[in-house]
């Protein structure tokens, strides 16, 4: 039963957060700081998620094939490779390191 309570509380919390976002006055959303934060927040969250998934198993720091693939992808980005090439390089390096 506690699982259903947690699901209900989470659903209500999500609804309230959505309602809070819709009730913010338009003038607040037009401020330069708010616009800049709204543009940068998804990038920061995605970077944090990528780092957590790449370098952690939930309990400790890991340096394995995923880290090598991420490093290769970063190098491909620095060299201004197209997105699909970046993904292909990351996959190839990760697979190669795992094969070794």
| 70 and 53 inside one domain | no
Domain range enclosing 41:
31-60
The count of domains in the chain is 3
Which one-letter DSSP state was computed for residue 19? H
| 76 and 98 inside one domain | yes
- The predicted pLDDT at position 1 comes to 66
Geometric angle at alpha carbon 65, from 42 and 45, rounded to 5°: 10
Whole-prediction pTM: 0.60
Each residue's pLDDT tens digit, 4-58: 999 999 999 999 999 988 888 888 888 999 899 989 999 999 999 988 888 888 7
Give the burial class of 85: count Cβ atoms within 10 A of its Cβ; 0-12 exposed, 13-18 middle, 19 or more buried. middle
| 88 and 69 inside one domain | yes
| 70 and 91 inside one domain | yes
| 50 and 75 inside one domain | no
Q: Are 66 and 54 in contact (CB under 8 A)?
A: yes
- The predicted pLDDT at position 71 comes to 94
- The predicted pLDDT at position 98 comes to 94
| 99 and 82 inside one domain | yes
């Amino acid at each position: 039963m506690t699982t259903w309570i947690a699901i209900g509380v989470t659903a209500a919390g999500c609804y309230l957060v959505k309602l809070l976002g819709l009730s913010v006055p338009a003038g607040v959303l037009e401020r330069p700081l708010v616009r800049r934060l709204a543009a940068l927040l998804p990038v920061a969250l995605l970077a944090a998620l990528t780092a957590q998934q790449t370098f952690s198993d939930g309990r400790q720091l890991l340096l394995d094939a995923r880290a090598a693939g991420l490093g290769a992808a970063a190098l491909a980005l620095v060299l201004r490779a197209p997105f699909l090439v970046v993904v292909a390089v990351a996959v190839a390096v990760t697979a190669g390191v795992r094969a070794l």
